[in-house]
Chain A
Amino acid sequence: DGGITQSPKYLFRKEGQNVTLSCEQNLNHDAMYWYRQDPGQGLRLIYYSQIVNDFQKGDIAEGYSVSREKKESFPLTVTSAQKNPTAFYLCAAGLGETQYFGPGTRLLVL
């Protein structure tokens, strides 16, 4: 996991509720990424940021939002518009092409 931390490890969301997943890195990498992992599927890119105060949508951005106010931090908000949020969420930080992952947050819906 290196210098990437994600919290919480487990998160429960009620219907209609927004929840925010934390991702912090001390690797001094410029780029950060959020992925969603579902059983039997490859990781799918939600959002990524290559520099502070800038971010781009990935392949499945609908129902999610991010911010990048600091180099070290890239929080992900799962909004009520995301109708199927149950998944394992992975944050990564990258230097060049290589990406290093955090330990993940498992989001469950009550």
Chain B
Amino acid sequence: GESVGLHLPTLSVQEGDNSIINCAYSNSASDYFIWYKQESGKGPQFIIDIRSNMDKRQGQRVTVLLNKTVKHLSLQIAATQPGDSAVYFCAEGYGNKLVFGAGTILRVKS
């Protein structure tokens, strides 16, 4: 299978619990942020995005929080399900280019 997850931080949660995945970004000029989900052997899937003029955005079962003061981004997944198991990574954007973090493995225990 896909070995993209080697040496990445891992978050293990019980099915039904909430998950919080964190990301530190580097460029204070970044004005756009995206969270992606990547399952083994597949391409990244867009989850949710947020612009720098916002500090919170909600989607279906997911919430993204942005703290520009400390350059921190988090993804909250409510009622985590086994199908949420994947690698999650954030991307910061300026212009039409994105810079990607290495990712966090989310493992959901049934």
Q: Chain A residues in contact with chain B, CB under 8 A?
A: 1, 4, 6, 31, 35, 37, 39-43, 45, 48, 50, 88, 90, 94, 96-104, 106
Tell whether, in the assembled complex, residue B49 and residue A40 are in contact, meaning their CB atoms are under 8 Å apart: no
Q: Chain B residues in contact with chain A, CB under 8 A?
A: 2-8, 32, 34, 36, 41-46, 49, 89, 93, 96-103
Within 8 Å by CB of B102, from A35, A40, A100, lies A40
Determine how close the nearest CB of chain B comes to the CB of A84; give it in whole angstroms: 15
Given contacts A48-B97, A101-B44, A102-B43, contact A88 B4 (CB under 8 A): yes
Within 8 Å by CB of B98, from A4, A6, A88, A99, lies A99
Given contacts A42-B102, A43-B100, A97-B32, contact A1 B43 (CB under 8 A): yes
Q: How far is the CA of A42 from the CA of B3 in the complex (A)?
A: 13
